[in-house]
Amino acid sequence: MAQTQIEVRLKDLKEHLKKENNILCEVVDKFRELDKIAYKLGYLNPDKQSYALRVSWWPMISVLGTYSAGKSTFINHYLNQPNLQRTGTHAVDDKFSVICFGNNTSTLPAIAIDADPRFPFYQISKDLADIADDTEQRLDAYLQLKICPSEKLQGKILIDSPGFDADNQRSSTLRITQHIVDLSDLVLVFFDARHPEPGAMRDTLEHLVSKNLDRPDSNKFLYILNQMDITAQEDNPEEVVAAWLRALAQTGLVTGRFYRTFNPDVSVELPENVKERLEKKSQTDMQDIHARMEQIGVERSYRVIGMLEHLTKDLEQNIVPQIRCLLQRWKKRVIWTEFSLDVAVIILIGLWFAITDNTWNGTWQQLMGLGNVPLGIIAGFIFIIGLWVHLKIGDMAANKIQKQLQTEVTDEQTRDGLTRAFNKNTGTWNTLFIWFVDQPVGWSNKTQQRLNEILNNVNDYVQKLNNRFTNPSGTSSSKK
């Protein structure tokens, strides 16, 4: 039997993880178990979707920020590659650069990312085609793959984004930005300290800060006020920082670390007392940022396992109850519609008897006078008509709820999954026996038990990771 594209991709993933992290290799199998449950429920499409594909299995750092905030300069300095990313005082690159380790320096077209399942933008062209017009559908206008020989890139992916401006950003660019934020282990958000009027950037702050505050992984965002040296030439650095802190507080960011940096390779001349103070602060903050960047391999392992736990709980505690609720709404609508129809028919018959002064016996004799038609045929005909009406009411009720679902659920991915599962539960067979429908198709005590087993496995994997990265007992060991 031929393997699906998803099966081939996950097989390749497991082969890679066997060499790097055998614990995550086991986690892939648990994602597949979760997939099978979602397939039976109808929530995932078995030909195209897998929970495992919603996770970036490679440690990933994304660098976001406003125009001219020094993102590319920071990357060049970190990798010790001064000419890797183009820099300038204005926007010089409007593409997302996916940077990974290689033996030489080169730039590859977007298809190298879109067609390779190892990268986080695998088949993103399909998503962009849904929101971009004809002139925007060229993937090369958005993405490029850069190869860099810096050893700091070994085992991780770094993404440099174009300068952010929420007011002028294309929907496709915003979609890619959200995609990389979701998959990243660490998100560095750069602001330009040379522009001490953050209030004018309210929309940009909303996209880069406000929308991320309630995320369960909000601690992966580092907010960096860069180019403090240039600011010190023209303004009071303390006043600039205070202005930015007030602006960020207005977006809801009142806790967490706020970094102040500048690049020593391109720093400007400053009075000695000011320079010493800024350098000390910048060096301390830069060391902390680099330390977080070096730790993402460890954080990635916990993130992947945490995502398995999150998706498992979400399926049990959120998705299944929503499917069950939709199913009960459909069942209730069908039953009440048929009840109303029956009442209407009874009323019409009563009115007919009242108007024509017929009795039931007289009407029955008239029906029997239709000829020599057997009573069984008449009853069968009435049954078929009633069955057709019942199925038609079921379809109409299902279509009505599906339309309501389009406005009730804002998340596209969840909405598509619920619609798919709802369709599976409102087929002909379930409609025929609607009075006995209580649970979604594919859901049972055994299914719930399988989800509980996956959650128990999550705890085991966390303990294995703890044993690998920590040593609570304090005993010496030659092998972790």
Instruction: For 339-353, write each residue's pLDDT tens digit.
Output: 888 888 888 877 766
Rounded Cα–Cα distance for residues 466 and 428 (Å): 51
Would you say the C-alpha torsion 279, 281, 284, 289 has a positive or negative sign? negative
- Closest C-alpha to 465, from 15, 32, 21, 57: 21
Q: What is the pLDDT along the chain (480 residues), one digit of tens a residue?
A: 456 778 888 888 888 788 778 888 899 999 999 999 999 999 999 888 899 888 878 888 999 887 778 888 889 888 888 888 877 655 556 788 889 888 888 888 888 877 776 676 777 776 666 555 443 457 777 788 889 998 888 878 899 888 766 555 566 677 778 878 888 889 898 888 766 555 545 666 666 776 667 777 778 888 888 877 777 766 677 777 777 777 777 777 655 567 888 877 666 676 666 777 788 888 899 999 999 898 888 888 888 899 899 999 999 999 999 999 999 999 999 889 988 888 888 888 777 666 765 555 555 555 555 555 566 676 777 778 888 888 898 899 999 999 999 989 888 889 999 999 999 988 888 888 887 778 899 999 999 999 999 999 999 999 988 887 776 555 555 444
Rounded Cα–Cα distance for residues 72 and 63 (Å): 9
- Written as six digits, the tokens of 357 are 């002064």
DSSP single-letter state for residue 64: E
Q: Is 112 exposed, middle or buried (0-12, 13-18, 19+ CB in 10 A)?
A: middle
According to the model, what pLDDT value does residue 327 have?
Answer: 92
- How are beta strands 258-260 and 221-226 bridged, if at all? parallel
Rounded Cα–Cα distance for residues 301 and 269 (Å): 43
According to the model, what pLDDT value does residue 234 have?
Answer: 65
- How are beta strands 143-148 and 106-108 bridged, if at all? antiparallel
Write 455-458 long-range contacts (CB < 8 A, 24+): 455/309, 455/312, 455/313, 457/30, 458/30, 458/305, 458/308, 458/309, 458/312
The Cα-based distances of 426 to 299, 420, 436 in angstroms read 42, 10, 13
Annotated domain spans of the chain: 1-55+303-471, 57-294
Q: Which residues pair with 147 in a beta bridge?
A: 100, 106
Are the C-beta atoms of residues 79 and 148 closer than 8 Å to each other? yes
Model pTM greater than 0.85?
no
- Closest C-alpha to 268, from 193, 345, 334, 211: 193
- Where does 217-271 have alpha helices with state H? 228-234, 237-250
Are the C-beta atoms of residues 192 and 247 closer than 8 Å to each other? no
- Closest C-alpha to 219, from 177, 257, 178, 260: 257
Are the C-beta atoms of residues 38 and 46 closer than 8 Å to each other? no
According to the model, what pLDDT value does residue 479 have?
Answer: 45
CATH 3.40.50.300 fits 57-294, yes or no: yes
Q: What residues contact 326, with CB distance under 8 A and at least 6 apart?
A: 401, 405, 418, 422, 425
According to the model, what pLDDT value does residue 202 have?
Answer: 61
